[in-house]
Structure 1
Amino acid sequence: MSEQLKVGISDYKIAQAPNELVTIGLGSCVGIALYAPKSKVGALSHIMLPDSATFSDTSNWAKFADLALPAIVKELKDKTNETALLAKIAGGASMFSFSQQASSLQIGRRNIEAVTTVLNSLGIPIISEHVGGQMGRSMFVDLQTFDVRIRMVNREEFIV
């Protein structure tokens, strides 16, 4: 029997098929689904900020793309002995309108860029994404197939 494991903000979980990983309410945050296809083990991370450089307290490292992704990838590779991981990402919306579009206020866009940069540096291809826009979303990761369902308010659910 499968279990649905919920991933909160600034959190991550690793699980194996037939379980499902879920994160709700990705606004400017980015959800990163990582997958080891041979063992059907995956991780889901809900990052909140692009990098930890300007923070003195990084004890909640799962909050930051630059700290979370390398650590989660290492844990997933150690657990599965697989090196060829796959990624799917969602989120990074621009949830608020600002009269001045300063890049420091564009957290969603900065999160997408940071996640993409870190995954590229780790040699992990992003095989599918649903990012940007102005609407939040939720992610449901099927660890049997690596189908990722995206749900948005008043929209039909779809698979990426």
Structure 2
Amino acid sequence: MDIFLMPGEYFVGDAQYRVRTLLGSCVSITLWHPALRIGAMSHFLLPGHGRRKADRPSDKPGMYGADAMQLLVEGMAQNGVPLAQCQGKIFGGGAMFPRTDKVRDIGTQNGDYARSMLQQHGIHVVSESLFGEGHRHLIFTIRSGEVLSRQVPPEPGWGSAGAKTA
């Protein structure tokens, strides 16, 4: 069965699922337990924590990286999955507009934050596809643990304001 994650959503399931999403500056973390064939995937927009519950609409509980990670951890625990035995993968953090040397853009912040969260939880990162320009299409097949990632560069002629130039 196919599941499509929108920004701020997450999913935990077994081998019958394949999870898809589309990332720009957002980041997805996948967790996978090879023996149990249970996996989890997030799609978060911002690093850090939501300040108040009011900041997190109930239909988008994983908007912030720390909140999304906590949801993944809880979901895996509910399925009896020991985090130390999981494989972690990180994707996204792309630049949707030209990067400047002066500012650490949100995609870079998201990617760095995802790395630190996995490290804090003792989860071994086996693969990552972070940063660069444009957006990514992801497909996570929980049965195999495979994550297909295709990065699509921005169209030529798009300027930093997002308007197409002639």
TM-score (norm 2): 0.81
- Do the aligned partners of 1:52 and 1:58 also contact (CA within 8 Å) in 2? no
Name the counterpart of 2:36: 39
Do the aligned partners of residues 99 and 117 (structure 1) sit closer, same or farther apart at CA in structure 2, a change above 3 Å counting?
A: closer
Q: Does residue 12 of structure 2 align to residue 9 of structure 1?
A: no
The Cα shift of 1:6 comes to 0.8
Could you tell me how far apart the structure 2 residues matched to 1:95 and 1:146 are?
28
Counterpart selection for 1:29 from 23, 26, 29: 26
- Do the aligned partners of 2:87 and 2:123 also contact (CA within 8 Å) in 1? yes
Could you tell me how far apart the structure 1 residues matched to 2:44 and 2:87 are?
17
The Cα shift of 1:100 comes to 6.5
Q: Secondary structure at the match of 2:152?
A: coil
The Cα shift of 1:78 comes to 2.3
Name the counterpart of 2:159: none
Could you tell me how far apart the structure 2 residues matched to 1:127 and 1:114 are?
17
The Cα shift of 1:107 comes to 0.2
Name the counterpart of 1:69: 69
Could you tell me how far apart the structure 1 residues matched to 2:116 and 2:65 are?
9
Do the aligned partners of residues 41 and 99 (structure 1) sit closer, same or farther apart at CA in structure 2, a change above 3 Å counting?
A: closer
In the TM superposition, 1:10-159 aligns within 5 A as 10-24=8-22, 26-52=23-49, 55-56=51-52, 57-60=54-57, 61-83=61-83, 84-97=85-98, 101-103=102-104, 106-153=105-152
Do the aligned partners of residues 81 and 87 (structure 1) sit closer, same or farther apart at CA in structure 2, a change above 3 Å counting?
A: closer
Q: Secondary structure at the match of 2:43?
A: strand
- Do the aligned partners of 1:39 and 1:80 also contact (CA within 8 Å) in 2? no
Could you tell me how far apart the structure 2 residues matched to 1:113 and 1:80 are?
28
RMSD, aligned CA: 1.8
The Cα shift of 1:81 comes to 3.6
Q: Secondary structure at the match of 1:80?
A: coil
Where structure 1 has 5 or more consecutive residues not aligned to the other structure, the ranges are 155-160
Do the aligned partners of residues 32 and 98 (structure 1) sit closer, same or farther apart at CA in structure 2, a change above 3 Å counting?
A: closer
Where structure 2 has 5 or more consecutive residues not aligned to the other structure, the ranges are 154-166
The Cα shift of 1:127 comes to 0.5
Could you tell me how far apart the structure 2 residues matched to 1:68 and 1:22 are?
16
Q: Secondary structure at the match of 2:90?
A: strand
- Do the aligned partners of 1:36 and 1:80 also contact (CA within 8 Å) in 2? no
- Determine which structure has more spread, i.e. the larger CA radius of gyration: 2
Aligned positions, number: 148
